Chains A and B, each alone.
Chain A
Amino acid sequence: MDPQDLQVVIEATVKVAIVLGVIMTVVAYMEWVERRVSAWIQDRRGPNRVGPFGLLQPLADGIKFLFKEDILPPHVHRTLYLLAPAIIFTTSLTTFAVIPFGPPIEILGRLVKLQVADVDSGILIILAIASLGVYGIALAGWSSNNKYSLLGGLRSSAQLISYELAMGFAVVGILMSAGSLRLSEVVEYQVRHGWNIFWQLPGFIVFMTAAFAETNRLPFDLPEAETELVAGYHTEYSGFRFLLFLMAEYANMITASGLAVTLFLGGYHVPGLHLLDLPPLAFALVQVGAFCFKVALFLFLYVWVRWTIPRFRYDQLMNLGWKVLLPIALANILWVAFFVLQGWA
């Protein structure tokens, strides 16, 4: 292999390792954040026994999940039952690869993009892989051979189909203004023209609502709906396979937040930072920090909304998706198209 190729391979490996490591750590700590913030919202204390402020709680939980018995119920469809958590976990981790988390920086005379893969149809790839995640849930529900699981799986496939459409249409406005599907160019556009959220607010609201539905978070957690369906599609799972479902949910939340930040909140852009005249590396690191901060805000929003809005009924869910979000998204497209046509964008 010639040195040029080797450099590319090393760069890619390092980036993948860093991104994967950070996501897995954040996934573990989201569990702690979720419980602490929930407790704070409900005027309780939350987990505070393991380590200072309960910070070692995710570690203890992970070990406990590993040592729990991994039950394979006799009535399940074996192959699909074992495959489902793998599908959902893989798809949830893959999608972050095309999200830029910092500006390009120069390391050892090499221009390194702070993004695992800067591909031309970045947004399409996220939508494509995310849409495969539904098979994890649907298969888990079907292969469990349990009526509650089946209902959960059914609900999730109907829900994801309905909200994927609204999400796709909300993104179209961004693509029209930036003129590219490449996420790094979407961010560059916002650096030059200001953040998209200010003039595409309807698109942002539709996108966030659809993102909540796509990640199966309250108020859209009908596939698991513990008050009606025991635990929905993962009723029959135990041990580490069950943990994979939880981790996939948090990983999906991180990706959805990262995507929302990239598309609507200027990605890693900090307004006015270039006036400070920082050295290039510090400039880049501050922007990476800004990206992480924005994502953290969205993750907090996820927990906050969970304890603010109760779960939708199934017909309300469908009405909201098809009769409210979709028309808003279409109107947003018209509005953006008018802007772009006038040359104002």
Chain B
Amino acid sequence: MRLLMGLVFVVMAAAALRALLPRRPGLTAFAAAVAAIVLVGFYPGDLATFDFWAGAVGFVSILSALLIVMHPNPMVSVLFLILNLFCMALFFLMLQAQTLAALQVIVYAGAIMVLFVFVIMLLNLKAEEGMRVGMGPQRWAAIGFGAAFAALMFWALRHRHGSAFVEPKAFVEGFGTARDLGTLLFSDYLFATEAASVLLLAAMVGAVLLAKRRLE
């Protein structure tokens, strides 16, 4: 956990640096990478532990999440979003929820994000050039609130009780398999599952109706 907190700190620092030096994204990325490598390289514990991998994947996911917002090119932003969703799948995998991990990749990375890419290609969006908004007070306010949020998170992590992660060995045999997930969905969570499916159906019919009305 200490590693994750260290890495989060590196990313926060990098984000602040990036906000202060908007014209030098390469420098920021380089500094963050060096800091991360130093942190991982001098990691005192065993590399094959759950904590280490949770920290490493968490680092990548936070870094990619920041780059989604910060990268000037929309196509590259979408790619970082895919990377971020991939990290979520890895988290599911580390928590033994392998079916959910595969579904996460299929549904988000494999289907929804393809549509994002499709739309960006259709609109042929170019990288935003020099149209950076909120140069003055807004930026300082953002940095202030960001620092406050970082402090809050740091405080929350320091004062938590026990480990933030459950060791995967604590799970019962067969946990996270498709069978287990299916049984849960159609017994304990039957109402939520059915409600969600009706909601999706309504959304689908609505979308078809809206698209059709424009044709006629």
Contacts and interface: CB of A to CB of B under 8 A. Distances in A.
A77 B106 CA distance: 27
Interface string A140-181: 011100000010011001101100100000000000000011
Interface stretch (B113-121, B130-138, B163-171): B113-121
A150 B121 contact: yes
A142 B98 CA distance: 32
Contact of B177 (A120, A132, A150, A161): A120
B27 interface: no
Contacts of A38: none
Contacts of B76: 79-80
Given A121-B178, A124-B99, A132 B110 contact: yes
Contact of B75 (A80, A119, A132): A80
A85 to B, nearest CB: 15
B99 A142 contact: no
B82 interface: yes
B114 A124 contact: no
A131 B115 CA distance: 12
Interface in A118-147: 119-121, 124-125, 127-129, 131-132, 134-135, 138-139, 141-143
A142 B121 contact: yes
Contacts of B102: 121, 124-125, 127-128
Contact of A127 (B110, B118, B122): B110
A164 B112 CA distance: 12
Contacts of A124: 99, 102-103, 106, 178
A312 B178 CA distance: 37
Contact of A141 (B82, B98, B121): B121
A131 B99 contact: no
Interface size class of A (residues with CB under 8 A): 20 to 34
Contacts of A139: 75, 79, 117
B205 interface: no
Interface in B167-200: 177-179
A149 to B, nearest CB: 10
A158 B118 contact: yes
Interface string A238-271: 0000000000000000000000000000000000
Contacts of B178: 120-121, 124, 180-181
A164 B111 contact: yes
Nearest to A161: B114
Given A80-B75, A80-B76, A121-B98, A132 B118 contact: no
Interface of B: 73, 75-76, 79, 82, 98-99, 102-103, 105-106, 109-111, 114-115, 117-118, 120-122, 124, 177-179
Given A125-B102, A128-B102, A157-B117, 18 more contacts: A79-B76, A119-B98, A121-B99, A127-B110, A128-B105, A128-B110, A129-B105, A131-B110, A131-B111, A131-B114, A132-B110, A135-B82, A135-B114, A138-B114, A138-B121, A154-B121, A161-B111, A161-B118
